[in-house]
Chains A and B, each alone.
Chain A
Amino acid sequence: DAKTTQPNSMESNEEEPVHLPCNHSTISGTDYIHWYRQLPSQGPEYVIHGLTSNVNNRMASLAIAEDRKSSTLILHRATLRDAAVYYCILRMIRGSEKLVFGKGTKLTVNP
C-alpha cells in the first residue's frame, strides 16, 4: 500500500477555514484518496474521497494536486466539534478493500 505523510498536529481558530495537507508521492493511478477523522473516544468516520478531481460534500472539500502527489482536506469553517485526528489514506481501485491508517493529523480548534 502506498504511503501518506501528514503533519502530526495543526491548530485552528473557530469559524476559520482549515487546510489539512497530505503528501502521497508514490501514489499510483489506481489509488483513491480517502479522508477519515476520529473524534475523541470514538471510531473513525468517513469524511470524503476522490480520485483526480476536486470533491465537495457537506462536511468538507478535497483538493487534489494535478500530479496527484498531494492533496488537501479543507474544512471551510472549523467548529469545536471538528477537533479530531484526521487520516489521509490511499486505497486501490478494485484492489484490496483494506484501509491502512497512519498516525494522522491531530487538529485542535481554539474557541
Chain B
Amino acid sequence: NAGVTQTPKFRVLKTGQSMTLLCAQDMNHEYMYWYRQDPGMGLRLIHYSVGEGTTAKGEVPDGYNVSRLKKQNFLLGLESAAPSQTSVYFCASTVVRDYYEQYFGPGTRLTVT
C-alpha cells in the first residue's frame, strides 16, 4: 500500500492564481482531512470529509474549497491564491470503525508570491 499520497510536492504560485492539491489514499478510509502548517506552528484543520460526496469546514476554511467525488481522493482548491496561504499542506485519512490514528501524507509546500 502507498498509504496517503499528495500531489504536487512543491508549488510556487503568483497572487491570484488558482490550483488544486490532490490527496489520494488506498486504505479504503472513510474520513479524510486537509491541514495547513505555518512555520513554528501546529497543524490547523482546513476542511474534512466523513465520506464520499460530503465535506465540512474546519478551523480555517476561508479561501479554500474541497471536493470528495471518489472515496479515495480528496481535493483542496485555492481559487485565488494569496500570500497568506503560503504554508505546508498535509492531508490525512482514517478509518472510522477502529479509529485510533490518522495517517498523514508527506505534505505539499506551497509558496504564493
Which residues of A are in contact with B by a Cβ distance under 8 Å? 34, 36, 41-46, 49, 87, 97-104
CB of A46 within 8 A of CB of B100, answer: yes
How far is B96's CA from A41's CA once the two chains are assembled, in angstroms?
27
**SS class of chain A's interface: helix, strand, loop or mixed?**
loop
CB of A103 within 8 A of CB of B40, answer: yes
Interface residues on B, range: 20 to 34
Interface centre among A42, A87, A98, A103 (most CB of B within 10 A): A98
* 28 A–B contacts, CB within 8 A, in A order: A42-B107, A43-B90, A43-B105, A43-B106, A44-B90, A44-B102, A44-B104, A45-B104, A46-B100, A46-B101, A46-B103, A49-B100, A49-B101, A87-B42, A97-B48, A97-B96, A97-B99, A98-B33, A98-B45, A99-B43, A99-B102, A100-B59, A101-B35, A101-B43, A101-B44, A103-B40, A103-B41, A103-B42
CB of A43 within 8 A of CB of B92, answer: yes
Which residues of B are in contact with A by a Cβ distance under 8 Å? 4, 31, 33, 35, 40-45, 48, 50, 58-59, 90, 92, 94, 96, 99-107
Q: A34-B101, A97-B50, A99-B102 are in contact. List 10 more A-B contacts (CB 8 A).
A: A36-B102, A43-B90, A43-B104, A46-B101, A49-B101, A87-B42, A97-B94, A98-B33, A99-B43, A101-B44
- Shortest C-beta distance, A22 to chain B (Å), equals 13
CB of B31 within 8 A of CB of A97, answer: yes
